[in-house]
Amino acid sequence: MKAPKSLTRELVTPEGIDLRLVLADGGERLGAFLLDVVFILIALIGLTLGTIGLAFLFSFRSADVLGVIWILGFFALRNFYFIAFELTPRAATPGKRIVGIRVATRDGSPLTANAIFARNAMRELEIFLPLLFMIAKTSDIDAWIGIVGMIWCGVFVFFPLFNRDRLRVGDLVAGTWVVVAPRRVLSPDLAAPESKLVFNEAALDAYGIKELNILEDVLRRGDEETMRIVAARIRKKIAFDHPVAEAEFLSAYYIALRGRLENRLLFGRRRRDKYEKV
């Protein structure tokens, strides 16, 4: 299914490669968040049952301590669930993985821990604080405070609907956005053609998994100008001067690099990108 133009963005990576990204729409982001809420609730139920089991084990003599443990567990789930999963290489919570979306930086640079922390720290103001206003009894809140709270809720909850990139306030602060991440690791159809080109180990150690995925996107798009620029950059990087067409060179290098990375993975060595030491 072709992505709507309103959600398609052109992005030039730090490597100088022009890629086309598709932003996650509101339904995908909401669906991922609701799935994550379900997973958090399941974990919370497990925490509650575990706490009750400990209470029975200690004959309720440590009820206060167990209550503190439950509160700390709930705090950790609410605040660190999203951060912990988005700090992984996939940059996605279980809900995002199921829906097929992930977090990425808006300038194409590597996603940092600071950015992940910033976008998730804002969730307390964007979602959980508005929820507290909604479930609080009106009799317990001054009328004017209630009005301010409703305005606050409206600003943060509906903010993604009023900007073209579907950004939360947390995304705006952190310099991130949420993009569609199709489940595609290494495409077999790009590895079908055979080539006589041979690359030494130094040439194949010049790049990692991230660059392999970028190269796959370039080959899939088939844009001649982009392929020419990318081929020139790779040739210079690996000191390859054999005269061959850009498409054949890139396909051959893709096949060789993929094989190199797959072999390294068999021995438990995973190289994420060209900046990680071999």
Q: Identify whether residues 160 and 198 lie together within a single domain.
A: no
CB 254 within 8 A of CB 212: yes
* 248 belongs to a structural domain: yes
pTM of this prediction? 0.63
Residue 192 has pLDDT above 50, yes or no: no
Q: 134-162, pLDDT tens digit by residue?
A: 666 555 556 666 677 677 767 777 787 77
Instruction: Specify whether 147 is located in the same domain as 219.
Output: no
What is the pairing mode between strands 18-22 and 8-12?
antiparallel
**Domain closes at, from 159, 180, 201:** 180
The answer as to whether 272 is a domain residue is: no
pLDDT tens figures, 12-47: 555 555 566 788 888 888 899 899 999 999 998 998
Burial state string for 28-41 with b = 16 or more CB within 10 A and e = fewer than 16: bbebbbebbeebbe
Count up the domains in the chain and report the number: 2
Q: Does a structural domain hold residue 232?
A: yes
Residue 271, in any domain of the structure: no
pLDDT exceeds 90 at position 96:
yes
Range of the domain at 119: 5-180
- Residue of 32, 80, 81, 40 lying closest to 180 (CA atoms): 32
Dump pLDDT digits (tens) for 256-266.
888 777 666 54
Highest-pLDDT range among 80-94, 116-130, 154-168: 80-94
CB of 212 closer than 8 Å to CB of 257:
yes
pLDDT at 78: 80
Coil, helix or strand at residue 109? coil
Q: What average pLDDT does range 224-241 have in this prediction?
A: 87
Q: End of a domain among 180, 208, 228?
A: 180
pLDDT above 70 covers a percentage of the chain that reads 73
Comparing 90-104, 149-163, 212-226, the range with the smallest average pLDDT is 149-163
Other Cβ atoms less than 10 A from the Cβ of 103: the count is: 26
Q: Is residue 175 assigned to a domain?
A: yes
Residue 159, judged by CB atoms within 10 A of its CB (0-12, 13-18, 19+), counts as: middle
Clarify whether residues 195 and 157 are in a common domain.
no
Residue with tokens 């919370």: 44
- On whether both 133 and 194 belong to a single domain, the answer is no
Hey, what are 183's tokens? 């489940």
> Does residue 186 carry a pLDDT above 50?
no
Q: Would you state the pLDDT for residue 105?
A: 85
Q: Of 161, 180, 199, which residue sits at a domain end?
A: 180
Co-location of 211 and 125 in the same domain: no
- The least confident of 78-82, 95-99, 208-212, 254-258 is 208-212
Does residue 59 register a pLDDT over 70? no
